Structure 1
Amino acid sequence: MGCESIGQVTPAPGSPTRVQLERLLAGVRVVAERPRPGGYERGCGGGQGCVFGPAWTDDHDGPGGHDGCDSRNTVLARQLTRAVFRPGDTCVVVSGALNDPYTGQRITFARADAKAVQIDHVYPLAAAWDMGAAGWPMPQRVRFANDVDYNLLAVDGKTNEDKGDRTPGDWLPPARASRCFYAGKYLMAANRYALPVTSADRDALRRVARGCP
């Protein structure tokens, strides 16, 4: 999957152009392969590292921080159509519909089946840790993990689980029309936080860019 270009498929709305992607690519550092420094512990339970802070915390100085709503609900409120909130609560989204940016499908969201729609870190946290975030101060890691502008997307849950912590050299959205959009989001996050891409990532993103308008 990671080796295919978009070809003649019409990119999804909001996708960057080929020129825009090439500019973003030119701005990132390229490393031969992903290092594996160890020490990544996302969990915040007893004895766990909690290296990116509590999941979906509102306590950060990035986009959407300190607004009274956790970052998961902020993303849902932004992306879902016909979003319905818990009565008397302007933050908690209980239902809506998602135009999934990875599959191109329309997915019904209900809080009772929350796993159907998950929040993806476009530039995965584990990959970011390996590529430099291990050396960041904690506030920067928390900001990155909750950046609703640059690194978070509501997506199909099964697709998110399939993606895991893979980067573009190993994974691209199953909907070919979504790949220009994904490439743009990935590179925007990389540029924003001065994170590198691997040679395999660069090559995959270049192939994607060639199919963008």
Structure 2
Amino acid sequence: MFTPTHLLAQAEMRTPGTRSREALPKVFFAIVMTVCAVVLGACGEPRTVVVTNTETVTSTEQVTTTVEVTAGSLGEPVAGESESEEVSGTVTAPVPLPEGSSARELLNTLEIKGRAPKTGYERAKFGQRWSDDVEVEFGHNGCDTRNDILNRDLKNVTYKPRTRDCVVLTGTLEDPYSGEIIEFERGSESAKVQIDHVVPLADAWVKGAQQLSEQARRNFANDPRNLLAVDGRLNQQKGAGDAATWLPPAKGFRCEYVSRQVEVKAAYRLWVTQAEYEAIDRVLSGCGQSVS
């Protein structure tokens, strides 16, 4: 009789002192039927077939054939295993870019494909906000990234005392997105000037950043190439938009803006959508030779 895990077939000899001529066909028939059942999926756990004691015996003996089915031998995955395991979170970045490459040359190296699912995205995936524990410019200098960018992009900067010229108190921003002058003062109106991720974190997540290691994502979120001090209102307006959905109102800055996006995406092995590629290509077509 065939069960989910083993088969027991018994045949008795009918003539004392002689070998049974009936038991052997029964034994092999049982084995053949068992193998067929396993191959066709009749057994709930088809794996390894073990056959024991298939000889014929005398009338005082019995023939016992056991077919045991265990996990793993017929090419099917064992419970708890997967046929393929997706590798994620291991890609290191940024990578060095070819020296002297133009934005258009780098654009043509980017893969073009659709967005990945946004599943699992949260700001914490890119590490602590404005972490100094990064392997990019300004990393491990004792100041947080936000103050590093304010110090770089503002003019007439003043600092909080006893912070080693790290914490920016005031300064003047020539906003690249609007072309307007904005006075920055730390305190209740600090949000007038915000630090924008040129390639937004959420956009990066659905275009390759899921495959980056934790350190690489932290580098990405704090890489000065991907950060600009800008008008807070326009930063909020942009949200997670890419070049196909948002460009700075100041048209004179668009060439530098999309060039930065291309450089960052190339350095962090991110891709672009078809619409995004076409939008960047249109902007670069109107830029000078040094950019395009």
Fold equivalence (TM over 0.5): yes
Give the drift of 1:178. 1.2
Once residues 103 and 181 of structure 2 are traced to their aligned partners in structure 1, the CA distance between those partners, rounded to angstroms, is 26
Aligned 1:139-150 pairs, distance under 5 A: 139-148=215-224, 150=225
Aligned 1:106-117 pairs, distance under 5 A: 106-112=181-187, 113-117=189-193
Whether the aligned pair in 1 keeps the contact of 2:150 and 2:229 (CA below 8 Å) is: yes
Once residues 176 and 111 of structure 2 are traced to their aligned partners in structure 1, the CA distance between those partners, rounded to angstroms, is 26
Once residues 261 and 176 of structure 2 are traced to their aligned partners in structure 1, the CA distance between those partners, rounded to angstroms, is 13
* Offset from partner CA, 1:6-53 (integer Å, 9 cap, x none): xxxxxxxxxxxxx9332221121111x3222411111xxxxxxx1111
Query: Is 1:118 the counterpart of 2:194 in the alignment?
Result: yes
Give the drift of 1:88. 2.0
Amino acid at match of 2:130: W
Q: Please, which runs of 5 or more residues in structure 1 have no aligned partner?
A: 1-18, 43-49
Give the drift of 1:147. 0.6
What residue is the counterpart of 2:162 in the other structure? Answer: 88
Query: Is 1:22 the counterpart of 2:96 in the alignment?
Result: no
> Max radius of gyration: which structure?
2
Higher relative contact order (CA 8 A, sep 6+): 1
Return the match for 1:128 from 177, 181, 204: 204
Aligned 1:3-22 pairs, distance under 5 A: 20-22=102-104
Give the drift of 1:83. 0.8
Give the drift of 1:177. 1.0
Q: TM-score, normalised by structure 2?
A: 0.62
Which 4+ runs in 1 deviate beyond 2 A? none
Whether the aligned pair in 1 keeps the contact of 2:160 and 2:167 (CA below 8 Å) is: yes
Once residues 282 and 130 of structure 2 are traced to their aligned partners in structure 1, the CA distance between those partners, rounded to angstroms, is 33
Query: Is 1:154 the counterpart of 2:229 in the alignment?
Result: yes
Return the match for 2:268 from 175, 179, 193: 193
Query: Is 1:169 the counterpart of 2:169 in the alignment?
Result: no
Count of equivalent residues: 186
Once residues 247 and 109 of structure 2 are traced to their aligned partners in structure 1, the CA distance between those partners, rounded to angstroms, is 21
Amino acid at match of 2:121: Y
Q: Superposition RMSD on alpha carbons, in Å?
A: 1.2
Once residues 153 and 118 of structure 2 are traced to their aligned partners in structure 1, the CA distance between those partners, rounded to angstroms, is 35
SS of equivalent residue, structure 2 residue 183: strand
Once residues 186 and 133 of structure 1 are traced to their aligned partners in structure 2, the CA distance between those partners, rounded to angstroms, is 14
SS of equivalent residue, structure 1 residue 51: helix
Q: Please, which runs of 5 or more residues in structure 2 have no aligned partner?
A: 1-100
Whether the aligned pair in 1 keeps the contact of 2:103 and 2:263 (CA below 8 Å) is: no
Once residues 21 and 59 of structure 1 are traced to their aligned partners in structure 2, the CA distance between those partners, rounded to angstroms, is 29
**Higher share of residues assigned helix:** 1
Work out the percentage of aligned pairs sharing the same amino acid: 44
SS of equivalent residue, structure 1 residue 179: helix
